[in-house]
């Protein structure tokens, strides 16, 4: 069983961080806690734990009990983010479209009233608010009365809080683009947050992540569950790769530079792809391993009905697909499958990453997204340990699988794609791609394969390869947008736009709208295309 230190949710100090937001028309804010929590240096770790846990839990108690926010659907940050990144793409066909209120995401027809859009927006800003509160109370002036050792530890925690705030801001920028900005200096003010353009948020995050990377520890010196400096570098590389999407210009060479820093940090590809997503995947974290930074999910201390519980229970089906026991869970939620175009990306399943259940299934969803006989099931996530033992009882405790937010394989692919786009260091790009593919039991490719324009999409190999490597890891929408394939007709999948054969949709769906409730609460904000 994995060891959890900073994520013990029973700490009484965490209760001080419950949101005083009772409905969605209020800007998320945090109660004044400096007297009750930050008076003691030992409480800073507990406060930081809440910042981390806000990405995978929905409340103070087990599975989201005593909720942090009164949200529409009531789910955690990562369940919301997964749906925002995956539900409208070729990687997901949701079964319970009406019951889960996910039809608008599925068919790319949402508006500013969508419940998932609103929940994601407020979850992002709740996490940002927690980090802001931590940063306000961890300045050098605020901690001056503590011992030198205590101050040094808190300064390290401060770098982690800056990284976590940047992570939540990046998600908000990527999803919504032009968003309100609030840092620790706005706490206690009567001013409403100002609207910042995506490029301004990008510039802020660039500065923050570079600064955090100077303080965060190396891979070899990072305690499990904490963010290492390579996590900041990975987020920078991802930002740079998508910089043009945010109006920040061509930053491919910067992407290569920070991906290279990750490559030099001492991580290594995992020989068994499936072990990156099982109940023992915490053993694949850190120096010499592939997982750079996970969001910790634990059946004892960080119980969530979202995050990886959602993915693991949601991928199995009581009537059509693989049995729940095959992936170590007690119940099948029958939530989703992949649309037929996605498994077609694999070369006859001659690839260790092609983890599909096909028995009795039609590859394509000809009878509709919610017809469970169409679309292959996925068996990527497993609540079994390396020895094949069931890690937890998911009917009561959720799964024991961390969510690998950043992996070395992604650094390989980001470096290689940025190299091709900037026409530099092509030999290393090809070497990295083939090293990865050999590791995954996939055939080697040529430089011509990497550079080819297919169906009007330059460098389409990378769009496909990132799908093969990173599916269901909440990057697909961002990747499709970078390749101009999310809303256009350059790449169609079944039921894109709500029609069987797929169609192009309005370009406005590249960006989610700020919820209507937030526009009513903050006159500084507006949506350009909704």
Q: Yes or no: say if 133 and 31 are a contact pair by the CB < 8 Å rule.
A: no
DSSP letter at 73 equals S
For residue 67, what pLDDT is reported?
A: 67
For residue 23, what pLDDT is reported?
A: 38
Please report which helix (H) or strand (E) contains residue 337, including its range: strand 336-337
Q: Yes or no: say if 243 and 273 are a contact pair by the CB < 8 Å rule.
A: no
Q: How far apart are CA 307 and CA 312, in angstroms?
A: 9
For residue 21, what pLDDT is reported?
A: 37
For residue 72, what pLDDT is reported?
A: 78
**Strands 403-407 and 453-454, sheet pairing:** unpaired
For residue 18, what pLDDT is reported?
A: 38
Q: Has residue 128 been placed in a domain?
A: yes
For residue 475, what pLDDT is reported?
A: 98
Q: Has residue 403 been placed in a domain?
A: no
- b/e 30-44 (16+ beta carbons within 10 angstroms → b): beebeeebbeebebb
Q: Has residue 323 been placed in a domain?
A: no
Q: Residue 63's domain spans which residues?
A: 16-249+512-521
Q: Has residue 119 been placed in a domain?
A: yes
The helix/strand/coil state of 293 is strand
Q: Has residue 50 been placed in a domain?
A: yes
Count: domains in the chain: 1
Q: Has residue 88 been placed in a domain?
A: yes
Task: Give the global pTM.
Answer: 0.94
Q: Has residue 333 been placed in a domain?
A: no
For residue 329, what pLDDT is reported?
A: 96
Q: Has residue 372 been placed in a domain?
A: no
Question: Which residue shows structure tokens 């996530």?
Answer: 381
DSSP letter at 92 equals -
- b/e 304-338 (16+ beta carbons within 10 angstroms → b): bbbbbbbbbbbbbbeebbbebeebbbeebbbbbbb
Look at residues 86, 82, 90, 83 and name the one whose alpha carbon lies nearest to residue 346: 90
**pLDDT truncated to tens, each residue of the chain (530 aa)?**
444 444 433 233 333 343 333 333 444 444 445 667 899 999 999 999 999 999 999 776 665 566 678 777 778 999 999 999 999 999 999 999 988 999 999 999 999 999 999 999 999 999 999 999 999 999 999 999 999 999 999 999 999 999 999 999 999 999 999 999 999 999 988 999 999 999 999 999 999 999 999 999 999 999 999 999 999 999 999 999 999 999 999 999 999 999 999 999 999 999 999 999 999 999 999 999 999 999 999 988 888 889 999 999 999 998 998 999 999 999 999 999 999 999 999 987 689 999 999 999 999 999 999 999 999 999 999 999 999 999 999 988 899 999 999 999 999 999 999 999 999 999 999 999 999 999 999 999 999 999 999 999 999 999 999 999 999 999 999 999 999 999 999 999 999 999 999 999 999 999 999 999 999 999 999 999 99
Sign of CA dihedral 74, 75, 81, 86: negative
Q: How far is CA 69 from CA 28, 29, 190, 201, in A?
A: 9, 10, 21, 25
Output the six-digit token pair for 183: 């840092």
CATH code for the domain of 106: 1.25.40.390
Q: Which residues contact 290 (CB under 8 A, 6 or more apart)?
A: 267, 268, 269, 270, 276, 284, 404, 407, 408, 409
């Amino acid at each position: 069983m994995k060891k959890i230190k900073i994520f013990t949710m029973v700490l009484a100090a965490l209760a001080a961080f419950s949101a005083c937001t009772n409905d969605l028309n209020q800007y998320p804010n945090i109660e004044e806690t400096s007297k009750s929590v930050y008076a003691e240096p030992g409480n800073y770790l507990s406060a930081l734990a809440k910042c981390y846990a806000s990405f995978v839990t929905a409340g103070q108690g087990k599975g989201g009990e005593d909720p942090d926010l009164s949200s529409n659907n009531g789910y955690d940050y990562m369940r919301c983010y997964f749906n925002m990144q995956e539900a409208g793409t070729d990687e997901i066909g949701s079964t319970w479209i009406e019951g889960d209120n996910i039809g608008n995401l599925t068919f790319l027809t949402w508006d500013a009233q969508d419940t998932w859009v609103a929940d994601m927006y407020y979850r992002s800003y709740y996490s940002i608010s927690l980090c802001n509160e931590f940063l306000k109370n961890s300045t050098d002036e605020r901690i001056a009365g503590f011992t030198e050792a205590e101050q040094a530890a808190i300064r390290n925690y401060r770098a982690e809080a800056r990284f976590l705030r940047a992570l939540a801001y990046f998600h908000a920028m990527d999803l919504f683009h032009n968003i309100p900005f609030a840092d620790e200096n706005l706490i206690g003010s009567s001013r409403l947050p100002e609207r910042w353009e995506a490029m301004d948020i990008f510039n802020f995050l660039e500065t923050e992540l570079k600064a955090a990377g100077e303080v965060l520890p190396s891979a070899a010196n990072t305690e499990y569950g904490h963010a290492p400096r390579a996590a900041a570098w990975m987020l920078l590389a991802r930002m740079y790769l998508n910089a043009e999407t945010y109006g920040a210009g061509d930053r491919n060479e910067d992407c290569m530079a920070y991906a290279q820093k990750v490559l030099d940090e001492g991580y290594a590809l995992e020989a068994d792809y499936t072990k990156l997503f099982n109940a023992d995947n915490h053993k694949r974290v850190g120096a010499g391993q592939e997982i750079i930074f996970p969001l910790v999910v634990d059946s004892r201390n960080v119980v969530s009905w979202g995050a990886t519980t959602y993915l693991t229970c949601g991928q199995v089906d009581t009537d059509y697909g693989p049995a729940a026991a095959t992936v170590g869970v007690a119940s099948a939620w029958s939530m989703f499958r992949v649309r037929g175009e996605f498994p077609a990306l694999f070369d006859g399943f001659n690839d260790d990453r092609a983890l599909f259940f096909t028995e009795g299934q039609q590859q394509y969803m000809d009878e509709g997204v919610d017809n469970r006989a169409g679309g292959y099931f996925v068996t990527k996530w497993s609540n079994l340990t390396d020895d094949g033992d069931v890690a937890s009882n998911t009917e009561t405790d959720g799964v024991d699988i961390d969510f690998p937010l950043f992996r070395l394989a992604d650094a390989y692919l980001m470096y290689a794609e940025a190299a091709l786009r900037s026409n530099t260091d092509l030999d290393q790009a090809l070497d990295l791609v083939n090293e990865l593919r050999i590791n995954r039991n996939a055939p080697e490719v040529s430089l011509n394969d990497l550079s080819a324009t297919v169906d009007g999409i330059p460098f389409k190999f990378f769009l496909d390869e990132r799908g093969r490597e990173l599916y269901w890891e909440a990057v697909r929408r961002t990747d499709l947008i970078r390749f101009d394939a999310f809303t256009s007709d350059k790449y169609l999948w079944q039921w894109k736009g709500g029609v069987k054969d797929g169609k192009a949709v309005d370009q406005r769906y590249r960006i989610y709208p700020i919820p209507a409730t937030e526009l009513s609460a903050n006159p500084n904000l507006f949506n350009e295309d909704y």
